[in-house]
Amino acid sequence: MSMTYIHLQKKWPEFTWDQDQLTPLLERVHLKQGRLIGKIEGLGFDLRDEAVLQNLTEDVIKSSEIEGEKLDRNQVRSSIARRMGMDVAGLVRSDRDIEGVVEMMMDATHNYKQALSSKRLFDWHAALFPTGRSGMTKITIGNWRNDSDGPMRVVSGPVGREKIYFEAPKAKLLNNEMKLFLSWFNKKKSTDSILKAAVAHLWFVTIHPFDDGNGRITRAITDMLLARSEDSSKRFYSMSAQICIERNKYYAVLEKTQKGTLDITEWIIWFLNCMERSLQNSDKILSSVLKKAKFWEIHANQTFSERQRKLINRLLDGFEGNMTSSRWANIGKCSQDSAARDIQDLIKMKIIKKNQGGGRSTSYSLLDFKEEKL
């Protein structure tokens, strides 16, 4: 194994950074974080919950997408809504693996004040892999990896010609590695919580203590520390969503840092910039929530069936794909004729419109507020 890996440095894990370089950026991130929280707190209780629901849904989906796994948005949203005690139209049953991801993320962000322990990490890992398998492969659950199939490596390329990006610490070192990490993590106010989130992210993903799921658990740990930085379980922005957007740069700076020295200034600068962009992009979720509230305010005096309300909310939440009459019937659990009547009623009420195209592919979407006034 190359002697350039960061965890093989003699003073590992005594990280250092240039505080003078970080301070202006850290102050700017704290300022934007505070402004966002202030803006959200100005909303009503229901709107805040809706913003949290949308953000957590995005966070869970994007955290898995980074690992190449696509989750069903409706199942994720339903699972989170049930745990939040929200009465949301169109709830569906969620698969065990989705329930597990949501359970982990909710525990990390709602119980952020609790200590992080090996048992808690084992519980998160077991929740991610309820069958004890990653795909077709049986993996170790409820314990650190044992490297029985060889060293833990991050690789790409065909078998026999793989490119090795990183090799994690040996399995025999994990008990001590994780003891050091957890002791540091649980120290009270040892450093700024946002700065600590950046260090924890790098440290944990470098140890890579599990057979699989290390990336998702790393991001849960990051969210846990960001919740501590705000002293709130309410999540209004998503680091996972931003990392997903910037994944190529993320992997590049991560690889460079893991093959570098214990001065991790460059990594922390990237992390803080990524967080700043995440805070800026939270406006999209806030705008969506406000648009939904505005829609129902405008149409407060109109009468909709329960099924129509359910389908309109699905469209307002950002329905993926095309809403055809067949999909309407499937989601609304009604006949094709009933779906057609729903759609025609809403077209007459100038709520939805027929999109371009025809035949079986005919789809429908909401009129925006400007179009409704025409």
How would DSSP label each residue in 20-85?
A: HHHHHHHHHHHHHHHHHHHHHHTS-HHHHHHHHHHHHHHHHHHHHHHTT-PPPHHHHHHHHHHHHT
Counting Cα atoms < 13 Å in the Cβ hemisphere of 135 gives 7
370 or 229: whose pLDDT is higher?
Answer: 229
196-247 pLDDT, tens digit per residue, is 999 999 999 999 999 999 999 999 999 999 999 999 998 889 999 999 999 9
Segment 133-154 mean pLDDT:
91
**Is domain 6-290 in CATH 3.30.70.2190, yes or no?**
no
Centroid of chain to Cα 240? 5
Q: pLDDT by residue (tens digit) across 290-349? A: 787 788 788 888 889 988 888 888 888 777 778 888 888 888 888 989 988 999 999 999
Backbone angles phi, psi at 155, to 5 degrees: -135, 165
Q: Where are the domains of the chain?
A: 6-290, 305-372
The CATH architecture of the domain made up of 305-372 is: Orthogonal Bundle (1.10)
The radius of gyration computed from the CA coordinates of the chain, to the nearest angstrom, equals 23
Give residue 24's pLDDT.
97
Q: Can you tell me the distance from the alpha carbon of 279 to that of 165, in angstroms, rounded to the nearest whole number?
A: 30
Question: For residues 244, 247, 251 and 253, what is the CA-based torsion angle, rounded to 10 degrees?
Answer: -110
Same fold, 6-290 and 305-372: no
